[in-house]
Homo-oligomer: A and B are copies of this chain.
Amino acid sequence: MSAPAPSKHEFPFAAWTREVRQSALREIHTLLARPGLLSFALGMPAAELFPVAEYARAAQHVLRADPEALQYDLPLPRLRAHVVALMARRGVACTEGEVFITNGAQQAMSLLGQLLVSPGGTVVTEQVTYDGMLNSLRPLQPRVLTVPTDPQTGMDVDALEALLAGGERPSLVYTIPEGHNPLGATLPAASRRRLAALARDYGVPVIEDDAYGLLRYDADAPPTLRSLEPEWVLYMGSFSKIMAPGLRVGWVVAPEPVVRRLSILKQGGDLDVSNFAQRTLTAYLDGDPLDAHLAHLRAEYAARRDAMLSALEEHFPAEARWSRPSSGMFVWVEMPREVDTAVLLRRAVEEAGVAFIPGRAFCAEGGVRGVNAMRLNFSRLSAEQIHEGIARLGRVLHPPAVLASV
């Protein structure tokens, strides 16, 4: 049988989808397959810290108790109750009706975008921000305005106020006040109060991405935006970093009218979060393991952060600058302006067997700000591996003659 002649028609993709490109992170995922690589690249939690045995027990329990665990079902009220309890740890008082369960924080972002952004509408992000958020909004083709952001103190709230005072009325403002990805920044309490007040005064929804909020290592955590402003701050949380990403379970805390609409949008998108995943996670949480588990995670990740900061001191050139995160999984390093970290990445992988993400992957507006920066993840490798990897990366950066050539 001969192959049919090609059709005379071109495949009619929707116009905007012809422009979409693979996420830079996904491309790097492939590069990282190289065996023996010490990777600071992806924002992965440490798999050896996953509560695998406890989760396996919960899965067995759920499947033995009731085959309906694999049936279609409505969202599970008991899982929402657990999220309410978790939110209290973030200083947030909310009800089960204000909690909406999603397939991870990425879906929360995508559904909030659908709900708030009309096609071509305006959104505000930080100049350096999580690239997955911009990906999630692409179907809406928004106009993206950015405000400066500092590697240590996060969003420049003055700049946001100037935009609003100048007449901009964005459909949403997106920010990561705690454990900023990729910067590692923490927005100070005073800035949070001003941001919450701006949201309310101008009637602009602020999306607080708090995926890393429960991974705080230092004392004196500032209040969440949601605890300061329950009406105009829409909160996103996730079990990916505190439990395991492979579950794909996250949540939104928002006023009930928002939750009701999100629920309708999600039904059209993919019906429900896996009933089995919801029941298993609920059974796991029923055992009240979180105090011990979170304490363990925080101690481990704090030690890894400290290992990375001391290794950077020891091995990186004097010209480099980096953030000192109090939370999250990332350190942001800025090299002298002449260094292009995308070029550096290839050398680091090939010559030193070390990887990171070039800063431009996280920069709206073409990535100018991030050309000489790198995001280093400190959660996935052990303290020993971190020392070894940063030492190797440091050797690629030394002596200064080599540095000038990249």
CB contact under 8 A between A244 and B71, given known A63-B59, A267-B26: yes
Pick 20 A–B contacts, CB within 8 A, sort by A.
A6-B231, A10-B203, A11-B257, A21-B264, A29-B74, A50-B70, A52-B69, A55-B63, A55-B70, A70-B246, A72-B240, A72-B246, A102-B270, A103-B271, A106-B270, A135-B268, A138-B268, A246-B275, A246-B276, A248-B272
- How many copies of the shown chain assemble into the complex? 2
- CB-CB contacts below 8 Å: A113-140 with B: 114-119, 121, 132, 135-139
Does A258 have its Cβ within 8 Å of any Cβ on chain B? yes
**Binary interface profile of A, 169-202, with partner B (CB < 8 Å = 1, else 0)?**
1010000000000000000000000000000101
Identify the interface centre among A48, A137, A264, A274: most chain B CB within 10 Å of its CB: A274
Contact of A71 among B6, B246, B276 (CB under 8 A): B246
CB contact under 8 A between A17 and B119, given known A70-B55, A231-B7, A274-B277: no
- CB-CB contacts below 8 Å: A64-93 with B: 64, 67-74
**Binary interface profile of A, 249-265, with partner B (CB < 8 Å = 1, else 0)?**
00000010110010011
- CB-CB contacts below 8 Å: A33-77 with B: 42, 44-45, 47-48, 50, 52-53, 55-56, 59-60, 63-64, 67-74
Does A273 have its Cβ within 8 Å of any Cβ on chain B? yes
Does A205 have its Cβ within 8 Å of any Cβ on chain B? yes
* Nearest CB of chain B from residue A71's CB, rounded to whole Å: 5
Taking CB as reference atom, which chain B residue is nearest A261? Answer: B17
Contact of A52 among B7, B45, B63 (CB under 8 A): B63
A56 surroundings in chain B (CB, below 8 A): 59-60, 63-64
Interface residues on A, range: 35 or more
CB contact under 8 A between A70 and B247, given known A59-B56, A171-B12, A261-B20: yes
* Nearest CB of chain B from residue A164's CB, rounded to whole Å: 12
Asked if A270 and B14 make an inter-chain contact with CB atoms under 8 angstroms apart, the answer reads no
Contact of A245 among B7, B106, B200, B275 (CB under 8 A): B275
Does A110 have its Cβ within 8 Å of any Cβ on chain B? yes
Interface residues of A (CB under 8 A from B): 4, 6-17, 20-23, 26, 29, 42, 44-45, 47-48, 50, 52-53, 55-56, 59-60, 63-64, 67-74, 102-104, 106-107, 110, 114-119, 121, 132, 135-139, 169, 171, 200, 202-205, 231-232, 240, 244-248, 255, 257-258, 261, 264-265, 267-277
A63 surroundings in chain B (CB, below 8 A): 52-53, 55-56, 59
| Cα A11 to Cα B234 with chains together (Å) | 12
* Nearest CB of chain B from residue A267's CB, rounded to whole Å: 6
CB contact under 8 A between A205 and B268, given known A42-B72, A59-B63: no
